[in-house]
Structure formats: C-alpha cells, structure tokens
Amino acid sequence: MTLAGKRVGFIGAGNMGEALIKGLVTAGVVPAKSVLATDVRTDRLEELARAFGIEVVTDNVALVRAVDVVVLAVKPQIMDAVAKEIAPAVTPATLLISIAAGISTARIRAALGKDARLIRVMPNTPALVLEGATAIARGAGLEPGDIEVAGAIFSAVGRVVVLGEDLMDVVTGLSGSGPGYVALIIEALADGGVKMGLDRSTALALASQTVLGAARLVRETGMHPGVLKDMVTSPGGTTIAGIAALEDGGLRAALIRAVEQATLRSRELGRGSG
C-alpha cells in the first residue's frame, strides 16, 4: 500500500492532528481534497477547513468509511470509547494509525473487538514546525507497505525511526515528553541571562537559538554530544565553570530520571491507570 490515490482521515484535530494535516498538504504528500478530519469542536473543524482546504465531518464512523487510512489522534483516556464507536466501520481494507501515548495495539484491538491493520506511532509536538521526532512500531497483522505509508505521513513533519512496540513507552518518555524538558531548559537559561542583566526577550532569543544550534550540530554532523561539549570547554574557562555548576545541581541525573518517570507513566496509561 502506498499513499498515492489514498484518502487519509484524522479522528481528532488538535495540535498534533493539525501538524500532520499541515505537513501532508503543504508538502504535497496528500492533496487537501483527500484529507478528512473530525473533532468534537465544530469551530476547530471550520478553522482547519479554511486553513488547508480539507474536508471536515462530524461523524467518526462516516469518516472511517470514507477513507483508506485513519489516524487516531485522540487522547489516551478516550481511545477505548473511540475504538468501540468506529469498530463497525473498520474493515480489512482500513489501515489504523494510533498516536495515543501509552496505548498498546493489543488494547485498541480489544476495544475494537476485532483484528485490524493497526500501527502504533509516537510523534512529538515539534511536528508543529515540521521538526518532529516520530517512532513507528512494527506490528503483527500488517500488509506489505503499511509501515511505509505511516513513514510517509510522519516524514512530512520531521524524522522517523521504526522500532519494536516494546520500546514505545521509552520513546514516549524521551522524545514524546522531551520537548517539555527542553522548554524548561530554555526557560532556565533565559532566566540566567536575565539574572545577569539581559532583557527577557534577548535572553530568550539567545537561549532558544543556542539550543537549536547545538541540536543541529549534533544531528547534522553526527557528532557525539560529548565532543561538542569538549569543543567549547577550554581549560579554566567559562564553559567548564558552568558545567561544574550543572553537575553540582544534578542536571544529568535529573534528565535521566525524567525520562524514566515519563516512561513509567506511559506504561501506567497503557494499563488504564489514571
């Protein structure tokens, strides 16, 4: 299966749904006329229809019947209810893609009450600016080309890796939740600049660009982060003084712990806790 000539539907048109629609349409991966969306907010649907020229409907079952690929872009807490609702419309010809954090394919199939071609995916919010990091889980019951279809959709908004489903909770804890950690780091760096005399807007501009630049250096050169750190760390200089302060504050351990705790929470969500 390829995306050529296929219709793609989004159940849920929040930030991530919009990011994916924007990526598909603006990159020309799927023409706007072949994209459908539903959402509980009719004003949101009208906004997306105006912005991207897509078709919008208010009936989830009707959407599933009208498309070839369905992206389930709903919150984990309502995934079971949505799966039960659309089950009558899901056929062997339907490819379902779930982006709900923590929800396994086994749980979605159980809610559907039937087998289905189903792929679990974990994107992140930088997809909004076409710089997302997405993991796609290999799964059973798929047809040749299904993983490639998911890859084509999410490559439109960033970079994609393919992993086993057993690692998806870790992906959620790292790249799914990671933008929140990085935002906190950017804010803290800017606060440091303000403390030492910079105005807020300048401090924030410098902090955000510094994080962006460092990330691109690592990504585009393949450089290990430790090598990048050593490049800017002179003996007795300013950077090593700052790094020593970060080590005293436990930054490295705190970030490792953040990924761990977010991973565990993703597993709890998958079990239906909270």
Give the mean model confidence (pLDDT) for residues 23-36: 93
Q: Which amino acid is at 46?
A: E
Give the mean model confidence (pLDDT) for residues 105-127: 94
Query: Does the structure show a pLDDT above 70 at 91?
Result: yes
Q: Which of 226, 258, 220 is nearest to 243 (CA)?
A: 226
Strand partners, 162: 136
Residue 132 — φ and ψ, nearest 5°?
-75, 160
List, for residues 161-189, the tens digit of each pLDDT value. Answer: 999 999 999 999 999 999 999 999 999 99
Please enumerate, as own/partner, the contacts of 52-56 that have beta carbons within 8 Å and a separation of 24 or more: 52/21, 52/22, 52/25, 53/25, 54/21, 54/25, 56/13
Q: Are 49 and 56 in contact (CB under 8 A)?
A: yes
What are the sequence ranges of the domains in the chain?
8-172, 178-270
DSSP state string for 161-194: EEEEGGGHHHHIIIIITHHHHHHHHHHHHHHHHH
Give the mean model confidence (pLDDT) for residues 55-71: 96
Residue 240 burial class via C-beta count within 10 angstroms: exposed 0-12, middle 13-18, buried 19 and up: middle
Q: Which residues contact 143 (CB under 8 A, 6 or more apart)?
A: 1, 117
Task: Identify which has the larger pLDDT, 235 or 4.
Answer: 235
Task: Identify which has the larger pLDDT, 113 or 141.
Answer: 113
User: Rounded CA gap, 84 and 79, in Å?
Assistant: 9
User: Rounded CA gap, 172 and 134, in Å?
Assistant: 10
Q: What is the pLDDT of residue 273?
A: 58
- CATH domain 178-270 topology: ProC C-terminal domain-like fold (1.10.3730)
Give the mean model confidence (pLDDT) for residues 69-76: 94
Task: Reduce the DSSP state of residue 1 to 3 states and report it.
Answer: coil
Query: For residue 131, what are the CA distances in angstroms to 51, 79, 127, 199, 208?
Result: 20, 26, 5, 28, 15
Is 8-172 a domain of CATH 2.60.40.1480? Answer: no
Q: Are 117 and 96 in contact (CB under 8 A)?
A: yes
Model confidence band, residue 274 (pLDDT cutoffs 50, 70, 90): low
Task: Identify which has the larger pLDDT, 159 or 141.
Answer: 159
Residues of 23-56 as b/e, b for ≥16 C-beta within 10 angstroms? bbbeeebbebebbbbbbeeeebbeebeeebebbb
List, for residues 223-232, the tens digit of each pLDDT value. Answer: 999 999 999 9
What predicted TM-score, i.e. pTM, was given to this entire model? 0.89
Percent of the chain with pLDDT over 70: 99
Q: Which amino acid is at 136?
A: I
Model confidence band, residue 138 (pLDDT cutoffs 50, 70, 90): confident
